[in-house]
Amino acid sequence: MEFERYNSRLEAGIKIARLIEKKDKNLHDSILKNPKEFFCFAIPNGGVPVTEGFCQIFNLSYSMLIVRKIKIPYNPEAGFGAVTTDGTILLNQDLLPHLNLSKPEIERAIQLTKNEIKGRLQFYQISPQTQSLLFKKMKGKTIFLLDDGLASGFTMLAAIEMVKKYTPKNIHVAVPTAPIRTIKKIQEFTDKIFCPHVSHAWQFAVANAYKHWYDIPESEVLNILKQSKYYTNTI
């Protein structure tokens, strides 16, 4: 059966929740019975409306986990790693030897990325104290990490690497679309992954899973968070 593209990211989040109901009834029932044992992190910007739709179905709380790629100095559209909200750094060790970057260039690119994340946290009015409290309270909970899709999956791997440091009970990845090669890679590092549209095509783009694709502006993210019943900065 041909995949029917999502009307919106919000709808995509709802469909992930429906997939869990269909594929993992025990997990589905556990979420409904004990919602306080679960927490979601949206990777902005595109992951915010996805998470909003997901949490509407399960009545779960969520916050944001900001992850930024470390840009290649001479090709800023591409990256050689990622930095997360708490400063966790994940470098693409397979790619680095081919980039001919000096150690100072690598360190400078990492620092620029950290500064960018700091700016995003300030923009969304997330204080270091709030972040620290969220991280500490992850212990023993089942964490869902959500984005609007995976391509290489490197950003999600960095998010997983960060969350693992705070000893959650489980880490589940939930995304609307991804290529099979990335699903296999992510599966090695997470407990479960839920993805309604797994592409087996050689060429893949997250945008192809949506009828009306566009980059989510920060103004839209702020509007979602302002109106949300589920967004929080505490667990």
Those residues whose C-beta lies under 8 Å from the C-beta of residue 105, and which sit 6 or more positions away, are 73
Per-residue pLDDT for 235 more than 80?
no
What residue ranges do the domains of the chain occupy? 1-175+186-228
Two tokens, residue 107 = 């360190």
Burial of 222 (0-12, 13-18, 19+ CB in 10 A): middle
Instruction: Report how far residue 86's alpha carbon sits from residue 1's, in angstroms, rounded to the nearest whole number.
Output: 42
Q: In angstroms, what is the C-alpha Rg of the chain?
A: 17
- Find out whether the peptide bond into 45 is cis, omega within 30 degrees of 0: yes
Q: Which residue has the tokens 């790619």?
A: 95
Q: Residue 16: which pLDDT band, with cuts at 50, 70 and 90?
A: very high
Q: Write the pLDDT tens digit of every residue in 55-92.
A: 999 999 999 999 999 999 988 878 899 999 998 999 98
Tell me the CATH number of domain 1-175+186-228, given options 3.40.50.2020, 3.30.499.10, 3.40.50.150, 3.30.300.30: 3.40.50.2020
Reported in sequence order, the residue ranges of 57-114 that DSSP labels E, i.e. its strands, are: 62-64, 67-72, 75-84, 89-91
Burial of 22 (0-12, 13-18, 19+ CB in 10 A): exposed
Question: pLDDT above 90 covers what percent of the chain?
Answer: 79
The helix (H) or strand (E) run that includes residue 174 is strand 170-174
The helix (H) or strand (E) run that includes residue 107 is helix 103-123
Question: pLDDT above 70 covers what percent of the chain?
Answer: 98
Q: Write the pLDDT tens digit of every residue in 187-227.
A: 999 999 999 999 998 888 999 999 999 999 999 999 999 99
Q: What is the pTM of this model?
A: 0.93
